[in-house]
Structure 1
Amino acid sequence: MFSYPTVRLSLLFVALALVGLLLADISITASNPWRDLGNFFLGVVTPNFFSSEGLLTALLRTVSFAFVGVALGSLSGFLLALLYRHGPVRVFCAFIRAIHELFWALIFLQFFGFHPLTGVLAIAIPYTGIFAKVYAEILDEADPEPYRLLPPGTGVVAAFVYARIPDCWAQLRTYTAYRLECGLRSSAILGFVGLPTLGFYLETSFSQGLYSDAGAVLILFYVLIAAIPLWVRPKLLPVYLVAAPFFLGEGFPIVWGNVERFFTEDIVPAPLRHGEGVGGLLSWLGDLFLNEALPGIWNTVLLTQIALVATGLLALLSFPLISRHFGGPVRRTSGHILLVVARSTPEYVLAYILLQLWGPSMLPAVVALALHNGGIIGHLIGRQSDTLRLRPDAPRGIHRYAWELVPRLYRPFLAFLFYRWEIIMRETAILGILGIYTLGFYVDSAIQNIRFDRAMVLILITALLNIGIDALGRFIRRRLALQTLPSC
């Protein structure tokens, strides 16, 4: 139900977003955006699946990077989850998951080059931090009753394996399956930094105006995600895990001298490399903060707040599409398809497409973030609405929506929204690589100019900003007693 604190907080965030809209650049600068949008949709309905011999290989590598990266991340995350109660472990996990997969890829590209290890680690490292957090939450919520049924003298390891794991197994398996879907999205967008996954072919097709080729790539990706229940079966997982490393490709050999130079020279601040001392370092940091970090932080926070509220509005408007309390099976099926497409399309891919159609501004980023995250939350709230029982004389139509369902779903809706806040911030920062002036723009510019020391400082700032937003979101959820479900 609505409460004064939740209403007041909601109005505050809406007000901040409205002020942000007045300050943000949300213009459409393309000369003929509707023609370009029409050409894009025409390409989607007339896909060219035979445009490139490498498309099937890219599909296999997308799957392989996802499987290997998620497998390593889940294994490492599970081990860290066992130690998650220790402060240093929590801080370490928060730091590595606060850095987006594309930032990790940009870092590893500088010394591993276009080697499969770059893509695998770019997924595995942040996913380790994510798995550790969620696995720890699931294990902590396990029912203690089975422990009491064990015979006296049962060892700690045996008690854990036979009492806690069986109780949590369904949740652990469900969340890991969800993360595999996320891993496929992460693997696809690695192509935008040059790795041979589907994103590489999507960017190439768009840059050449080959919309039918781009449509084929998108359709292949949607089919891949939608068919997960069909091709990801428990009995086949060992086969996939054994086979995946063989489909990663070979790439270029790793030059270990480059690795050593990166850590001993490239990321060392220039004033220290040149012997300018503390004074030179402070001047260098001041210039970096004033001209790059502060503008990047401002635009990242501004865009995040607008996208957060837009996500919430879209989720509230879209959940009736799949709720059993509205419409019949045909409408709900259509709604499911729309939300699957929205939540399956990576924000980065959608923002890239809209930037090509509308021109450079914050508008494509806002729409991309809202569609993806709104689709996720709308799907979760729609499923939760199906568990609600209404009175036989409950009103219908808009009155049922406004007076029966939204008040009862609003608190879990806010919990999901604030759980996604930090994720939206991570995505907002990385969208700067596409030319939007968030922190990712300045990180990418520094790397392009071979100023890795500045890039590493900016990535550190991005991580700290994400950690701060995550902590603020958790504080709000605790203060308002909002239930947080790790499945989102």
Structure 2
Amino acid sequence: MFSSPTVRTSLIFLAIAVVGLFFADMSITASNPWRDLGNFFLGVVTPDFFSSEGLMTALLRTVAFAFVGVALGSASGFLLSLVYRFLPVRLFCAFIRAIHELFWALIFLQFFGFHPLTGVLAIAIPYAGIFAKVYSEILDETDPQPGRLLPPGSGLISAFLYTRIPDCWVQLRTYTAYRLECGLRSSAILGFVGLPTLGFYLEASFSQGNYSDAGAMLILFYVLIATIPLWVKPKLLPVYVLGAPFFLGDGLPIVWGNVARFFTQDIVPSPIRNGEGVSGLLPWFNDLMVNEALPGIWNTVVLTQIALVATGIITLLAFPLISNHFGGPVRRTSGHVLLVIARSTPEYILAYILLQLWGPSMLPAVVALALHNGGIIGHLIGRQTNSIHLRPDAPIGFNRYSWELVPRVYRSFLAFLFYRWEIIMRETAILGILGIYTLGFYVDSAIQNIRFDRAMMLILITALLNIGIDALGRYIRRRLALQTMPTC
């Protein structure tokens, strides 16, 4: 049932989002948005799978970047998870996972160029931080009893391999498979910064108004995600991981002098680089904060809070679509398809599509974030309701929804929502690259103007903001004793 603290917390966040609407730009500026939206859906239902010669190559490279990046990230994350209890390791992992994959790609592009290493590291580095945290939590939850039954003299490595790993192997494998799906989405959007994955061709098709081409790419991407259980088999994983590097494509040779210059000159604050010394650093920092960082932080926070509440609303509307307590199998199958599409479409791609159709404002970003994250949480909450057994005389219809099911899953719903809060913040910041005035907009502008020192400072501010939101979300979950699984 609802408890007073959870209700108060929900109302506080709802009030913050409502106030944020007065400061947010939610306008539709396109001259004929409904016609454009209709043309887009017409393109989706009439896809052209043969117009783009590079489409299959783009899909293959999308898969290759995902496999290599996730493999490196999981291996590095597993090693970090073994020492995750140390504070410096936890801080390092929190920092690298707080920076979005596209930000990492923009950094590596400056000295590696359009080399496969750019895309691989852009996925592997933040994923290493994510894997380290989750793997550490999984390992910490293993039963210590089997380790106590080993014969005296057993080594630490033997004890670890024969007692802890088998106990949590299913959880490790399940989470890694889920992160591979996330890696495919991350790989796809790397095309928006010029790497030869699906996003590159999707952006080209939209810019030329070829909606049938774009529809074909989206459909193939959905099929790729939906069929992961069919083609990603444990026995085939070594083949995929070893073969994927050969399908990443070629790039120009890396000029290591550019790498050295980037770290020793380009990202050094301009007052120090120009010989002005520490005295010129304060005016430089003040100008950066007043004109770029603070406006970016404000818009990022406002958009995040609106998107968070919108995600909650979408979740509460979506979970009945797949719940066994409502409707029949046909409706539930349709609901599953809708939620698969919503959660499989990367927020960046969905926001890009809506920006092309509606024009630049915060509205496309809010809708994209809410649909994607609402689809994810709605799917999880819907599955939880399927394990709830109602009494024979339970009410039906809206009363069943509002009095029987929502009170039982509401705490889990809030736990998932606050867990996704930091993720929504990361995505909100990066959506600035599309022209929305969040922190990503100012990062991209600084890079375009070859002001890498300002760009790196803004990326650092973005990471600290994400770390702060993550810590606040954990505090709220702990204070309200929220769990993602309902208690008995």
Q: Normalising by structure 1, what TM-score?
A: 0.99
Q: Which digits, 9 at most, give the CA deviation of each residue in 1:166-220, with x for residues without a partner? A: 1111111000000000000000000000000000000000000110111111111
Read off the aligned partner of 2:83 and give its amino acid letter: L
CA drift of 1:156 comes to: 1.2
Q: Report 1:178-257 matches (<5 A).
A: 178-257=178-257
Q: Is the 8 A contact 2:413 2:484 kept in 1?
A: no
What do the CA deviations read for 1:331-386 (whole angstroms, capped 9, x no partner)? 11100000000000000000000000000000000000000000000000011111
Identical counterparts, % of pairs: 85
Instruction: Write the distance in 1 (CA, Å) between the matches of 2:390 and 2:133.
Output: 36
Match of 2:25 in 1: 25
Match of 1:379 in 2: 379
Counterpart position of 1:298: 298
Q: Does 1:264 align with 2:290?
A: no
The equivalent residue for 2:112 is 112
Check conservation: 1:205, 1:214, Cα contact below 8 A: yes
For residue 402 of structure 1, what is the amino acid of its counterpart? S
Q: Distance in 1 between matches of 2:90 and 2:384?
A: 30
Q: Is residue 462 of structure 1 aligned with residue 472 of structure 2?
A: no
Q: CA deviation at 1:251?
A: 1.2
| Poorly superposed stretches of 4+, deviation over 6 Å | none
Cα deviation digits, residues 208-242 of structure 1 (max 9, x gap)? 01101111111110010011011101111111011
After the TM superposition, which of the residue ranges 457-466 and 275-284 deviates more from structure 2?
275-284
The answer to whether residue 481 in structure 2 is matched with residue 481 in structure 1 is yes
**d(CA) in 2 for partners of 1:9, 1:142:** 33
CA distance in 1, matches of 2:297, 2:51: 41
Q: Distance in 1 between matches of 2:422 and 2:374?
A: 14
Q: Does 1:356 align with 2:356?
A: yes
More off after superposition, 234-243 vs 199-208: 234-243
- 1:318 maps to 2:318: yes
* 1:162 equivalent in structure 2: 162
| Matching residue of 2:53 | 53
Give the residue type in structure 2 aligned to 1:362. M
- Partner letter of residue 377 of structure 2? I
CA shift, 1:388, in A, is 1.1
Letter in 2 for 1:310: A
- In the TM superposition, what is the alpha-carbon distance from 1:327 to its structure 2 partner? 1.1
* CA distance in 2: counterparts of 1:143 and 1:399, whole angstroms: 42
Structure 2 letter corresponding to 1:41: F
Q: Secondary structure at the match of 1:31?
A: coil
- 1:472 aligns with 472
1:143 paired with 2:116, answer no
Contact 2:99/2:126 (<8 A) preserved: yes
User: 1:147 deviation in Å?
Assistant: 1.9
Deviation string 1:378-403 (CA, Å, 9 cap, x unpaired) is 00001111111111111111111101
Cα offset for 1:157? 1.1
Q: Could you tell me how far apart the structure 2 residues matched to 1:140 and 1:403 are?
A: 37
Cα offset, 1:484, TM superposition? 4.4
3-state SS of paired residue (2:29): coil
Deviations 1:270-294 (A, max 9, x none): 0001111222110000000000000
SS in structure 1 of the partner of residue 391 of structure 2? coil
Report the 3-state secondary structure (helix = DSSP H, G, I; strand = E; otherwise coil) of the residue aligned with 1:235: helix
TM-score (norm 2): 0.99
Task: Indicate the residue corresponding to 2:332 in structure 1.
Answer: 332
SS of equivalent to 2:388: coil
- 3-state SS in 2 of match to 1:129: helix
Work out the CA distance in 2 between the residues paired with 1:98 and 1:169: 27
Counterpart in 2 of 1:392?
392
Spell out, residue by residue over 1:43-97, the C-alpha distance to the aligned partner (whole angstroms, 9 max, x if none).
0011111111111111100000000000000000000001010000000000000
Tell me the amino acid that sits aligned with residue 425 of structure 1. Answer: M
SS of equivalent residue, structure 1 residue 276:
coil
RMSD over aligned Cα atoms? 0.7
Shift of 1:255: 0.9
Distance in 2 of aligned mates of 1:420 and 1:295 = 24
In 1, the alpha carbon distance for the partners of 2:193 and 2:91 equals 28
Q: Does structure 1 conserve the Cα–Cα contact (< 8 Å) formed by 2:271 and 2:284?
A: yes
Q: How far apart are 1:152 and its partner, in Å?
A: 2.6
Residue 437 of structure 1: aligned partner: 437
The secondary structure found in structure 2 opposite 1:23 is coil
C-alpha contact (below 8 Å) 2:270/2:453 kept by paired residues: yes
Q: What residue identity is the alignment partner of 1:201?
A: Y
Is the CA contact 1:343–1:371 (under 8 Å) kept in the aligned structure 2? yes
Which residue number in structure 2 is paired with residue 85 of structure 1? 85
How far apart, CA to CA, are the structure 1 residues paired with 2:364 and 2:34?
14
How far apart are 1:149 and its partner, in Å? 2.6
Q: Which runs of 5+ in 2 are unaligned?
A: none
- TM superposition shift of 1:412: 0.7
Any idea what SS the aligned residue of 1:137 has?
helix
In 2, distance between residues paired with 1:373 and 1:149? 44
Q: Return the alpha-carbon distance in structure 1 between the equivalents of residues 321 and 429 of structure 2.
A: 31
Q: Find the counterpart in structure 2 of residue 4 from structure 1.
A: 4
In 1, distance between residues paired with 2:3 and 2:351? 36
Q: Contact 1:477 / 1:484 at 8 angstroms: preserved in 2?
A: no
Aligned length: 485
2: CA distance, partners of 1:132 / 1:218:
31
